[in-house]
Structure formats: structure tokens, C-alpha cells
Structure 1
Amino acid sequence: MTRGYPHLGFDPAPGTVATVNALRARLTSSAEKLDQAYRLVERLRAGSSWEGDAAVAFREELDGALPDNLRKAHTSLLKAATALGGWETDLGGYQDRARTLDGEAGTAGEKLNAAKEREKTARADPDLKLAGQTFATDAELQNAQSRLDRATRSLNEATTAVTGAQGDLDAVIRRARDLEEEHSTTARAKARTVRDATDKLAPEEPGWFGKAMDWLGDNLTDVLGTIAAVAGLLALLLTGPIGVALLLVAAAASAATLVSRLSDPKVRASLKDGFTKGEFDADFWSNAVGVAGDTLGMVPGVGAVARGVNGAMRSAGAATEALTLTERLASAGGKTWVAAERIAGAENPLTTWLVKGAADPARAGRILDVAVAGAGTATAVYGTGKNIFDEIKNSGVENTATAMDAIRAGTIDGAAHGSTALKTLKVLLNAH
């Protein structure tokens, strides 16, 4: 049996009115506090009750989304509280009906039990056994037939009473099931109303995907720089088509990093203040090194594309038949790939000079190039990692990373990409 509705055997209107009432009251109270906060913020923004520099600075901070969010949150909670108030009334009505139906089910059950007892008694009447017996006299036969008819009539009436009582109980149960469905439908509708109130009006905490996208937007430059550094290191370690493809990926990521870095007003302002006002602080050097590294990192890709386009234009000019756009693009792509292969296999002049006295210059040069690229990758990964894990943030480490990037950009990378730039210019200018 279900507690509260023992005769129905189930709860057609689950829920606790007192709990809904308490939640509605709490939401209403919270909505009132949000409205008070909104009105206070509006008074502070209007400057009617607070003046001075601190008030001006505070009002500048309040010009954002806070007032609007307070107003929307107040409206949202008030709408949710109203929906819960309606549900409180509905739930109380459903439970009143459920109690009435449980009483009716109890009465119908009692009648059914009584009918079953009468049927049991009627079925046990010994006169029902008179059927099929023989009697010596007509008087005895008539008396036996009369007694048999009476017993049969009593059994039939008792059976009909059981059927009727069972039908009455079933009807009450069906009404209770209908009430259960009505309760569920209304509950779902109220739940949607409350959910819509919070989804559409109240400021909502973003999910993991939204948080990830927000983080990526805030740290796009560091992420692109890390991709460029890792791809560049792998391009040195891997040979063949994969290494060439990674070289182009590194160059494209460097270009994207440069665009992202220069699109930040703070970076532009820092560089401008350094060159125009002499403010060569840590931010200036960090941004300057970043821009220089991004620019140098673009050189292999720009050189390969320039050579590819130049070669495609020469091929088109030498062709006896006009080439379609698709054919020209295919030609440019193929020649860009060939140029990238040559760039990937080109020697770094500075590395060659540094290791010329080694027993195995080629191996020593490769180890030096990989070590330098690895150091750059480490600093790039640190730049992204500190934005994820606050525990590893350290001004000393950041300054060291900036210094490492500066040395790498001004020496090894500078020489390598500089030589590539000169080769590119020779191709574009048809110099030999």
C-alpha cells in the first residue's frame, strides 16, 4: 500500500505542498533582493548619492552588464516564483482530489469485499447439490427444486454484486490514473516554465563547451603560437612529406599568431609606447619578441608560396595554350610543395658556422637546430600552460622565457629565415 492513499495503492499526485511553498517564498525573497540591488546600482550610476573620484571609477565599472543582469535575474526569479505559486495551487487541488478518490476506493473496496463474502456463502449453500438428485415423491421433488432455485438465485445475485462492485472500484482507479496523468502533464508544463525563466532571462553559467570557447578566445594568441612551435619542432624531427606539411603548418600558424597578436589593442599600445615614448618595459619586450618570432616563423611558408606562385606564373606564360584557373591553382600548389621541400632541406648558415669544427658537423647541426626549436617549443607551451594552471605562473620564469625567445629569434631563427628570405627574393627577382 502507498502511504497516504492506501485504498488506491499508488500516489496519483506526488509532491509536498509545503516544500513548494517554501521554495516559492525563497525565490520571491531572492527576487526582491535582486531588485533592491538593481535599484541601488542604478542610483550609484546616476550619481545621486555618491560623488568623488572613487564614485566615478566605480560607475565606470558599472557601465558593463551588471545592471542588465541584475534586472534580468530579478525578472527570471520572479517568473519562476510565479510558476511555482501556480504549481502549489494545482498540487494542492490534485491532492484533495486524490484523497477524495482514495475514500471512494475505500468504500468501493468494502462493498466488493462484502459482495465476495456473500458470493462465498451463496456458493457454499448445500441446496446447490440437490441438482441431479432423484426423489421418491412429487412433493419431495417440488421441495428440492424450490430450494435449488432459491440457492441458484442467491448465487447469481451475489456474483452480479461482485461484478458490479469490482466495476465501481475499477472506475475509481481509472479516475485516479487520469488524475495522475493530469498531474504529470501540469508538472512538466510548470517545469518548462521555470526552466525557460532561467534559460532565457537569468545570466547562466556557461557549460564546458562555452567555457572552452571563451578560454580559447582569451588565449588564442598563445595557443596558435604553441601550435606553430610544436609543428616547427616536428618538422625538424620528421622527414619526407610529413615534415614538409608540418613546415607549412608551422608557417601558417605563425601567420595566424601574428594577426591575433596585433589585433589586441593592448599589444599595439605597448609597442607604440615603446617606440614613441621609450617605454621599453617587460610588456614591450615580450610583445616585440612575439611579433618578431611570428614574422620570422612566417618566412618559410611565405617563401614557399611566393616561389610556387612565381613558378606557376612562369609556366602559364610559357604554355602554348591558355590554362584554366583550376590548372593554374594546381600548378601553384605543386610548385609551392616543391619549394617547401627545398626550404625544409636547406641548411641554416649560422648553425653550419657554429658546428664547422665538430667531428660530425651534419649531426651536430641537427642536434643544435632541434635543441633550439625544442627550447622555443618549451617556452611556447609554458605560455599556454600558465593560462590553464595558475600554479605555474611565475614572473621570473616568464622573463626567462621571453629572453630565450629573444635570443632564438635574433640568432638561429634570424639567420635561418633570413637566408630563406634572400633565396625567395632571388627567385622573385629572377636573380642568379
Structure 2
Amino acid sequence: MTGADPYPHLGFDPAPGDMDLVRDIHRKLSDCAVEMEKAHSKVTRLMNGSYWEGDAAVAFREQLRGGPLPLNLKNGAHSVDKAAKQLDLWGAELEEFQRRAKKLDGEAKAARDALQRAQGHADKVKETSGRPGTGHVHDDGGSALGKANSRVETAQGELDGVLKRARSLAGEHEDTARRRARHISDATHKLAPHEPNAWDMFTDWVGDNLPDILSACAAVLGVIALLGLTAVAPWMLFLAAGLLSGMAFGLRVSDPEVLASLEDGLTKGELDIDFWCNLLGVAGDFLGMLPGLGAVAKGSYIGLRSLGESGELLSLAAEGVEVLTTGQKLARLGTNAGTSLKTVGTSIRSEAAAAGGAASLLAHSRVFGGRLAPIVEKIDKPATILGAGTAVYGVTSSCADTLDNDAAKTVSNLLDGPRTLGIDVPATMGALHFLLRGAGEAT
């Protein structure tokens, strides 16, 4: 904001910033990212010989091959786009800060007016009480002057409270601005002419694609368990896949870019490729997490319940009555703790193994009479392998420019969408039905 003081009644600006300037820079950065991406796409097609042939084309490609231009264009577009998105988030936050500051300025005006009225009233009362013949009452608790001064103190306290909230808002604004500035600075790490080494490039790639990497690892573990390609018990792979899916789900739902994409798609109808990729990613990780989480919860409950019924949890209390040395008590405590953990672990293993082999909801007798069970059995294994294949392809495409395109993402979405709705959702519901029914019987 420029010109006159935007918050005259606060006496300072708790939310400095020019919204028009922020919007203008965001628009320019977004346009720049789009142009850099177009340039990268054109250079890539030239390198691949898509639409330029002949000696000149060969010479051009020889000059570019192995050079930094394609990578710098790709990294530059990615970095500028990340910076633009961070600036867009800051614009929304700044707008909210300034809205709150405007409201506080209005409250400060009302508080100052009330203080001015109270002070004027107190001055009149003081002047009147000092005149001859009016009396000199100095009882602070009941005199008119005491009440007037009390009103002044109350009004001053209300104004101080408003100013305190404004200073708190200023601190919040500064912290948020610093965080956004740090994110924008971090976004430029991939910009040319920076030339990160192999380790920096690898860590950047892992950081940018960690949710997809975790999801792909979970999908591969599911294939390994299904095909029995390792000596590791399937229930361990089942729990490991659920843990990886849970971590990926947490990363996705905590990513502002993912949330913004989903919000725009659901509220504004912007159903682009990114929206469907994010939606299927979040849904797939959520479905992959639930059975493993349910198996751990149910197994822990059953294990602890069995310990309580057998009296092992009460053994320490009984032993506390005995005259034991400290060493003996510690030894027995360790033995009981080990036994308890083993019992709970056995229950979790049993529930995980059973949940991992639970029948799909489509095989339930109440769902079309269970007539879909043969179909589910035939397509379950290919669908699991297909899911792992599309997940691995998604991770691989982030490394290879030729694989990272909208056509490939569209095909992956068309394969993953029906598979998620037709296979993953019924399979997850079947596992949860088994776990909940068993939990109900256990209670």
C-alpha cells in the first residue's frame, strides 16, 4: 500500500505490502514459467528430430547434445513455477493479514473515540468538583470523579488490547513473510546458472517426488507379497506397504500445491491433468494405509485384552508387595515387558496376515450374491501389477523428459481410475469389514 497511512488509528502498519505488486509479479513469473516450458518442449523436440530434419538439424543437435541448455530450461521453468506458486500463496496470506489489520484499525478508532469521550467527561467532572460550593468529595469508590477515572482506565485498557493484537498480527505477518521468502529462495536452487552436483540433483529429485516414490515402493511391496517373490512373510510386507502409503498420504495432504489443485478442481471445476493425478494419488495412498492401520489397531487391542484377561498386566502390582531387591524388580519388569510386547506383536501379526488375505467386498454374499468373486479373483493379480507399473512409471517419468508428458499422464489416469474404484476400494472395504467385524466380536 502506498500514499496515506492505511491504518491511522493503529499508529503503525502491521501488515505492510502491496497487493497489486504481488499479483503483478506472480502473473509475470507464471508467464515466464510457461514460456520457459514451451522453450524446453521445443528444444526437446528438436533434439529428438521430431519436426526438423536435414544437415542443419543434425548440426544443431550436435551442438546441443550433452550441453546444459535443455536441463537449464527444464530446471528454470520448474523453479520459476515453484516461486510463482509460493508468491501466489503469499498474496492470499497478505490479503488476509491486511483484512485483519483493517478490522483492527476500525476497532482502534472506536476505542480511541471512547477514550476521548471518557477523558473529556473526567476533565469536566474534575473541573466541576473543584468549584466553590460544589463540595469536595474524594471517595474514589463512589464519587463521580472516581467513576469517571475508572471509565478512562477501562477505555485505555480496551485500546491497549487492540494495539496488542495489532502488534501480534505484525509479528505473525513478519514470520509468514520470512517463511515464504525462504521458500521462494529455495525454489531458485535449480535455476541456471546454478550447476548442482549429482548428489544435489538426486536429493532435489527425492524431495520433489517423495510421495510418488513412497507410493511406488508400497505398490511394489504388494506385488512381491502377491507373487511370493521373497522369503519375507507376506504380513510384514502388508504392514510395510501400509506404512509407506500412510507416509505418502501425509506428505500429499500437507502439500499446499496438492491441496490447492484439489480445491480448484472441486470448487472451480478446474479438472486438469494435475487435479486427477493428485486426486488418484491421495485416494490410492489413503486406501493403501487403512487396512494396515486397522490391523495394528485391532491386533494391539486384542493383545492387550488377552494380557489383561490372563493377569499378566497385574503381576507387577502383586510382585510389588513382595520384598524384592531393586535388581530383582528390574529383572521381572523386563521379563513382563518382553512378554507383553511379544503377545501384542503376535496379535498384530495374526491380524495383519488375516487382513492381507481378506476377501474383496465384491466377493461378499450380500453383494450381487457373491457372483463377482470369480471375476475379482481373475483380475486381482493383473490389477495389482498394473497399479505397481503405473506408480513406477510415474516415478520414472520424473527422471526422463521423454516420459513426462500429458499424454502419458492421461493414460495412467485412465488406467488407475477404474482400477482404484473397481479393485482398490472394494478390497479395502473388504479388509476393513473383516477387521471391524472381528473387533466387534472381540468386544
TM-score normalised by structure 1 residue count: 0.49
- Larger gyration radius, structure 1 or structure 2: 1
TM-score normalised by structure 2 residue count: 0.48
